[in-house]
Structure 1
Amino acid sequence: MIIRAKKGQVSYGESIGILMLDTFTPFIPGDVGNATTYPFPVRYQTVKGFTFEKLLQKDRTMLTPILEAGHILVKEGVKAITADCGYMAMFQDEIANELQVPVFLSSLLQIPFISATLAQEEKIGIICSKASNFEIELLQKIGVSPTIPLCIRGMDEKENFRKAAHDEIGILDPDKIEEEVVSVAKEMVQSDPLVKVILLECSSLPPYAAAIQKAVQLPIFDYVTMIKYVHSALVQKRYTGYM
């Protein structure tokens, strides 16, 4: 078999490209921003100047640098592109229409699929980074029906998470943040028994998914479940076994 080089590409074998906000936060294993999170290689590209604050402000001037970063990832050979903040949903259409690979910028894209697995009255519990910025418009951008029952809780008031993710002090305490997010999940489920699945919007919350599941005994979806799912479609494996 003859293998041909792709012009402009100098490395190979990375299925998923990840657009990163320009932040100052340590990314622990399990975080979208830590490459050891995945059982396959990924490629990162920072969108220079695109801070979390600018994302919350819906700064449309950042569309051009996002596209530029996306084109770099495509040139480097990735087969699909995601991002590291669920609020990137606001750019989903523009990026998907521009780039020549599948684009799945937000963990929230999983909502319709998850909803289809539930009874009509059952709810998806969403734990997000900042509840005050979680708007219906964000869901409309990715085609999520307003009739899907949701229960939203934010990490805004949790001190350790806020300092690490919002204030970007440059350090975090995983044990304390785990306690905070588990407490949010437990309160959600206790206050609303119709919550039957939890979706973690924030890309920094997957490290705590196992602890959340242990506490509430529910299925947990997050950025990493989405990325692994897409990778499995992009890179199919031959099955082996016996009869």
Structure 2
Amino acid sequence: MADALVVLQLDTRFPRVPGDIACPETYSLPMRIEIVPKAQVADVVSADPEALDITGFVSAVAAADAKVVSTSCGFLAYFQKALAARTEKTFLSSALVALPTLRARFRDEEILILTFDAQVLGAPAYSRALDGFEGPVVGLKKSMHLYKVISEDLKHLDFQQAEADIDELVCSALSRSPGIRAILLECTNLPPYKHIIRRHFAGEITDCLTVLESACAGLVKEEFLR
């Protein structure tokens, strides 16, 4: 059976728990992970994305043979158009591709973007991807365990500590913006913590998994779409 999904993963080794875009246990259909050599978090999550050599991504996208092709980092939304042009398959770089649809249904102040790095996402280079979005954008704190695991490519993830940190972050963000009706998770490593977000928020959550499911019904296990 042909793969339903190919995920172009950064060249990282940190743990990918169920619910993460690059964890096979997240899916109900066959999928494959292609690691893009030398693609490091510090290079991809950058205020100057033009400095990134995307040759490896271009080659991987062109070679990917699956119904849907995606990436393991939402900041690659900057290259959505360029990479999509390299394949006839459905290419979804990031959950940020769903932002226009959300903005058609909600006011900007009703949408909260949770991102790996708010400072980088707020850089001028990403203005096209955000298209003038004026709602709240909240990033992981650099002191948070999950941020350190990802940015330093650590081999150990304390899931309970990550849960506690996310709980505090989301609670604080929603207290500052009580009118939020939709949350968009830019970071592909945040979906495993949606159950934590649900402690504080009953509205719509859009992430890389809901975007993939929209493109290929039955791809993602139901438990990770709630």
Write the letter of the residue equivalent to 1:49.
K
Q: Label 1:121 to 1:170 Cα distance change in 2 as closer, same or farther (>3 A).
A: closer
Distance 1:138 1:224 in 2: 25
- The answer to whether residue 95 in structure 2 is matched with residue 107 in structure 1 is yes
Answer yes or no: is the 8 Å Cα contact 1:84–1:203 preserved in 2. Answer: yes
Distance 2:179 2:75 in 1: 25
Give 1:201's match in structure 2, choosing from 186, 190, 195.
186
Q: Corresponding residue for 2:222?
A: none
Larger-gyration structure (1/2): 1
Distance 2:85 2:205 in 1: 30
Per-residue CA deviations over 1:88-131 (Å, capped at 9, x if unaligned) read: 1111111111212121101111111122222x364211111111
Per-residue CA deviations over 1:32-71 (Å, capped at 9, x if unaligned) read: 1101101212121111001111112426452211111112
Ranked by relative contact order (alpha carbons within 8 Å, sequence separation 6 or more), the top structure is: 2
Give the deviation of 1:217 after TM superposition: 2.4
Give the deviation of 1:149 after TM superposition: 3.6
- The answer to whether residue 74 in structure 2 is matched with residue 83 in structure 1 is no
Q: Which runs of 4+ in 1 moved over 6 A?
A: none
TM-score of the superposed pair, with normalisation by structure 2: 0.88
Write the letter of the residue equivalent to 1:125.
L
Secondary structure at the aligned position of 1:116 is classed as helix
| Matches for 1:78-227 after TM superposition, within 5 Å | 78-118=66-106, 120=107, 122-135=109-122, 137=124, 139-142=126-129, 144-146=130-132, 148-227=133-212
Give unmatched runs, 5+ long, in structure 2: 220-226
Q: Label 1:125 to 1:138 Cα distance change in 2 as closer, same or farther (>3 A).
A: farther
Report percent identity of matched pairs: 23
Secondary structure at the aligned position of 1:94 is classed as helix
Write the letter of the residue equivalent to 1:40.
L
Q: Label 1:220 to 1:71 Cα distance change in 2 as closer, same or farther (>3 A).
A: same
Give 2:28's match in structure 1, choosing from 22, 25, 39.
39
Aligned residues: 217
- The answer to whether residue 56 in structure 2 is matched with residue 68 in structure 1 is no
Secondary structure at the aligned position of 1:18 is classed as strand
Secondary structure at the aligned position of 1:70 is classed as helix
Write the letter of the residue equivalent to 1:216.
F
TM-score of the superposed pair, with normalisation by structure 1: 0.82
